A and B are shown apart, each in its own frame.
Chain A
Amino acid sequence: MALLPPEEGWYFKKVAKDEKMWITLALVVCLILFLWMIVWHIYGRQNPSFTTYRTTPQEFNALATAFMEKYKTGEMNGIPVVEPSPNGDVFLVAKMWRWEPVLVLKKGQEYRFHISSLDVLHGFSLQPVNMNFMVYPGYDYVLTFKPTSSGEFAIVCNEFCGIGHHMMIGKIIVKE
């Protein structure tokens, strides 16, 4: 009784059949939900990585600059275009309000992305695939991507990063 103390013997009252059925079903579903996350780590192909390195904006910028110089093939709207070799490291810099560089990747190949921010938090949102990850300053987040579709993809920033947040958009091109 919501406004009165419970009736005598409430603790020992048997749970009704339908309520028991529902609780059992709910419990089973909840246990499966938990186990499913583990199963997906073993058999699934989309799992957020937790490989992370401590870094600093200066250090990460230096690594990324060296990477861009090594693989640069051109420029697009003032942003370097970079075509890294498959199975190698890729550096992606987030800063107010740019993603650098533009990446040219090959479908079906793995790339070890290093993503970090030079200033505040940013959000890596790959469209239209709709995969979303956080980007921090001081943390080098390593995500190994294997593009399974080709074409042009946008990287939208989806963590508020200041007044120019809506202008922060990058590009990934995946070739067949």
Chain B
Amino acid sequence: MFRTCDITGLKVDLNAEKLIKLNAVMAVVSLLVGVIAALLLVLTRWQVVHLLPVEWYYRILTLHGLNALIFWIVFFEIAGLYFGSTIVLNSRMSSSKFGWLSLILMVLGFLLVNSTILTGNADVLMTSYAPLQAHPVYYLGVILFAVGALIGVFLFFANLLIARRERTYGDSLPLFTFGLVAAAIIATLTLATGAIIYIPTLLWSLGIIKSIDAGVYKLIWWGLGHSSQQINVTAMIAVWYLGAFLTVGGTSINEKVSRFAFVFYVIGINVASAHHLLVDPGPSPAWKVFNTSYIMYIAVLASMIHAFAVPSAVESAQRRRGFTKGLFDWLKNAPWGNPAFSAVLLSIILFGFIGGVTGVVNGMEQTNIIVHNTLSIPGHFKGTVVGGTTLAFMGATYYLIPLVFRKRISFFGLAKVQPWVFGIGIAILAVSMYILGAFGVPRRHYDITFSGGPFTYTFNPAVDFFWVLFAVGGILAVIGALMWILVVVFSVFFGAPLRGPQDMQLQIASPPPPAKENHGFEAPGTLTLTLLFMGVFLIFLLLNWGWLAAMWEVK
């Protein structure tokens, strides 16, 4: 069963469309849970308010991690995988029965995990490091969710095979879908080699296995925990390319470069747990240094390649449209009123300047000593997975509402400012968390005045200022996320139906005129921006190595 889209001209498989909608709805529900939890956490850790009692702090922290980092993102990614393998390819869903099975398992997992957490039976935080133990239903819920997601990933591959066999697209996959293939390969490896740890852990919680080695657990768990972030990065970058294409008609100035960079992600991340064992007993320096970098920090390199390729795609398209003056005329005249565009641009900036720069310091063996388990770590991944992935996905949704849900975007004025509120909030939050971590403030900690402890310790008084920033950034980000949820929910359930192309509020850019023969620089503005990025990156690295050199000696 197909309908033909009167806006894009693409064939839309109605079964796929229904599954995309349902997965997207579950994603929004998960994000809402995660965001409410986030607000409670911000108001607890900022000890001027110190809202929650201690057991609820850790409970809500567990809830926040699972919903914001796992459920929201994975539901959205499954929706994205179906979209990229059917509608984009003019093709059909391989099996809607298995699509339903996948969805039911994931929803069941979502319900079991959240109810176990909220009834106080899984106060183990997202990582659930053994020997901390949760109720067996918690592990069962995670397993069901992972199996459901894995089925969704397999359906994606099956869809691709069908599209290939039925020749519904040209010789090569579109770049967006190609990026999703990379994400799906990483997802398969991640779920098969990382999530597997929940099986022995479930048996252990049932008393069938006597004990779980803490080191083995952590090694395997992070095969899930870290690699899954690489799925998010890869899917986010696919969305960046999609955004550049839809909003300004931008295409990679060199497709081969972009495609190889996606391949680098696949080969550059297979023993990702090494990033989390840098200051742990056990693994040797050779193992750690090799497995975090593969000699050349290949995943970092890939990100830096995309960081040039996406903005240069925008720049090149804009220049061909005639915005050729100076270095940044193309950027000034970009469609800033399109929330999908501003979301993608902010996502690139936040991911690079906050997530990327800090990630390298965290991921180098020795400088990890400075940051491990401090508030810098969540500060870092607020930059990657929230400012980067979440914001990019939010931007993509502004196209999903008219094209998949066939609704006009309600409160369009609100939608226009939403990426800015959310992005600026996350930027303030992430930076203040990273700085608090540099002062030694621990993550996952209820009370940094240590009340009830045998001793006490007072952090540098400067932290009080950064806690205020933390609260301001956190509350802004929560408002930004709620704005997005309001726009999405209202549009989807109560919005005016989209009757045709005349109702489109967001432009789908036509391809720019072909480039004139050009032997100079194709994207001088982008090059300037990336060089600026490199400068910031190197200064930040030097600062951290300087701090490290001033510490106690340790070997």
Asked whether A128 lies within 8 Å of B460 as measured between CB atoms, the reply is yes
Segment at the interface with A among B74-82, B197-205, B227-235, B247-255: B247-255
Number of interface residues of B (CB under 8 A): 110
Q: Please, which residues of chain A bring their CB within 8 A of the CB of B282? A: 50, 52, 139
| B88, closest chain A residue (CB) | A3
A111 to chain B, nearest CB (A): 10
Asked whether A13 lies within 8 Å of B255 as measured between CB atoms, the reply is yes
Within 8 Å by CB of B284, from A6, A50, A127, lies: A50
A172 to chain B, nearest CB (A): 10
Q: Please, which residues of chain B bring their CB within 8 A of the CB of A169? A: 450, 453-457
Asked whether B521 lies within 8 Å of A149 as measured between CB atoms, the reply is no
Within 8 Å by CB of A125, from B251, B442, B547, lies: B442
Asked whether A2 lies within 8 Å of B450 as measured between CB atoms, the reply is no
Asked whether B297 lies within 8 Å of A130 as measured between CB atoms, the reply is no
A153 to chain B, nearest CB (A): 9
Within 8 Å by CB of B213, from A3, A98, A138, A143, lies: A138
Asked whether A137 lies within 8 Å of B457 as measured between CB atoms, the reply is no
| B175, closest chain A residue (CB) | A2
Q: Please, which residues of chain B bring their CB within 8 A of the CB of A157? A: 442
Within 8 Å by CB of B553, from A23, A27, A148, lies: A148
Segment at the interface with B among A34-42, A60-68, A83-91: A34-42
Asked whether B454 lies within 8 Å of A159 as measured between CB atoms, the reply is no
Q: Please, which residues of chain A bring their CB within 8 A of the CB of B280? A: 133-134, 136, 141
At the interface, yes or no: B214 with Cβ under 8 Å from chain A? yes
Given A145-B554, A166-B453, A136-B251 contact (CB < 8 Å): no
**How far is it, in angstroms, between the C-alpha of A162 and the C-alpha of B444 when the chains are bound?**
11
**How far is it, in angstroms, between the C-alpha of A53 and the C-alpha of B80 when the chains are bound?**
47
Given A2-B245, A3-B88, A138-B213, A145-B553 contact (CB < 8 Å): yes
Q: Please, which residues of chain B bring their CB within 8 A of the CB of A165? A: 58, 444-446
A14-28: CB near B (< 8 Å → 1, else 0) gives 111111011101110
Given A2-B242, A125-B374, A166-B453, A137-B169 contact (CB < 8 Å): no
At the interface, yes or no: B165 with Cβ under 8 Å from chain A? no
B252-264: CB near A (< 8 Å → 1, else 0) gives 1111110000000
B67 to chain A, nearest CB (A): 18
Q: Please, which residues of chain A bring their CB within 8 A of the CB of B214? A: 120-121, 136-139
Q: Please, which residues of chain B bring their CB within 8 A of the CB of A16? A: 253-254, 521-523
Asked whether A17 lies within 8 Å of B374 as measured between CB atoms, the reply is no
Number of interface residues of A (CB under 8 A): 91
Asked whether A48 lies within 8 Å of B365 as measured between CB atoms, the reply is yes
Asked whether A5 lies within 8 Å of B373 as measured between CB atoms, the reply is no
B487-525: CB near A (< 8 Å → 1, else 0) gives 000000000000000000000000000000001111110
At the interface, yes or no: B185 with Cβ under 8 Å from chain A? no
Asked whether B552 lies within 8 Å of A145 as measured between CB atoms, the reply is yes
A103 to chain B, nearest CB (A): 13
Asked whether A21 lies within 8 Å of B446 as measured between CB atoms, the reply is no
At the interface, yes or no: B413 with Cβ under 8 Å from chain A? no
At the interface, yes or no: B414 with Cβ under 8 Å from chain A? no
At the interface, yes or no: B371 with Cβ under 8 Å from chain A? yes
Segment at the interface with A among B135-143, B186-194, B304-312, B471-479: B304-312
Given A3-B176, A5-B173, A121-B214, A170-B552 contact (CB < 8 Å): no
Given A18-B521, A23-B308, A40-B366 contact (CB < 8 Å): yes
**How far is it, in angstroms, between the C-alpha of A58 and the C-alpha of B371 when the chains are bound?**
31
**How far is it, in angstroms, between the C-alpha of A98 and the C-alpha of B450 when the chains are bound?**
12
Q: Please, which residues of chain B bring their CB within 8 A of the CB of A168? A: 453
Segment at the interface with A among B17-25, B30-38, B124-132: B124-132
Within 8 Å by CB of B552, from A1, A18, A19, A146, lies: A146
A149-174: CB near B (< 8 Å → 1, else 0) gives 10000101111111111111111000
Q: Please, which residues of chain A bring their CB within 8 A of the CB of B58? A: 160, 163, 165
Asked whether B554 lies within 8 Å of A46 as measured between CB atoms, the reply is yes
Given A2-B244, A119-B131, A156-B442, A166-B450 contact (CB < 8 Å): yes
**Residues from 73 to 91 in A contacting B, C-beta threshold 8 Å:** 76-79
At the interface, yes or no: B43 with Cβ under 8 Å from chain A? no
At the interface, yes or no: B322 with Cβ under 8 Å from chain A? no
| A108, closest chain B residue (CB) | B553
| A124, closest chain B residue (CB) | B279
**How far is it, in angstroms, between the C-alpha of A145 and the C-alpha of B369 when the chains are bound?**
13
**How far is it, in angstroms, between the C-alpha of A56 and the C-alpha of B303 when the chains are bound?**
43
Asked whether A34 lies within 8 Å of B445 as measured between CB atoms, the reply is no
**How far is it, in angstroms, between the C-alpha of A167 and the C-alpha of B241 when the chains are bound?**
48
Asked whether B293 lies within 8 Å of A144 as measured between CB atoms, the reply is no
| A15, closest chain B residue (CB) | B254
At the interface, yes or no: B534 with Cβ under 8 Å from chain A? yes
Asked whether A13 lies within 8 Å of B553 as measured between CB atoms, the reply is no
Asked whether A47 lies within 8 Å of B285 as measured between CB atoms, the reply is yes
At the interface, yes or no: A126 with Cβ under 8 Å from chain B? yes
B544 to chain A, nearest CB (A): 11
A165 to chain B, nearest CB (A): 7
| A110, closest chain B residue (CB) | B553
Given A2-B242, A125-B442, A148-B523 contact (CB < 8 Å): no
A154 to chain B, nearest CB (A): 4
**How far is it, in angstroms, between the C-alpha of A13 and the C-alpha of B214 when the chains are bound?**
51
Within 8 Å by CB of A47, from B253, B374, B450, B555, lies: B555
Residues of B near any A CB (own CB < 8 A):
54-55, 58, 88, 123, 125, 129, 131-132, 169-176, 213-215, 218, 238, 241-242, 244-246, 251-257, 277-285, 289, 293, 295-298, 300-301, 304-305, 308-309, 312, 360, 364-366, 368-374, 438-440, 442-448, 450-457, 459-460, 519-524, 526-527, 530-531, 534, 537-538, 541, 545, 547-549, 551-555
Beyond contacts A158-B444, A165-B58, A166-B452: 11 other A-B pairs, Cβ-Cβ < 8 A, are A1-B252, A6-B175, A17-B522, A52-B281, A76-B455, A97-B453, A120-B131, A121-B218, A146-B554, A156-B445, A165-B444
Residues of A near any B CB (own CB < 8 A):
1-7, 10-11, 13-19, 21-23, 25-27, 29-31, 33-34, 36-38, 40-41, 44-50, 52, 76-79, 97-98, 110, 119-121, 123, 125-134, 136-141, 143-149, 154, 156-171
A sample of 28 inter-chain contacts (CB < 8 A) reads A5-B173, A5-B174, A13-B255, A16-B254, A16-B522, A19-B254, A19-B257, A19-B309, A22-B531, A30-B297, A31-B295, A36-B364, A37-B364, A40-B366, A47-B365, A48-B365, A76-B454, A78-B454, A120-B214, A129-B551, A134-B373, A138-B214, A141-B281, A144-B555, A148-B551, A162-B123, A164-B452, A166-B54
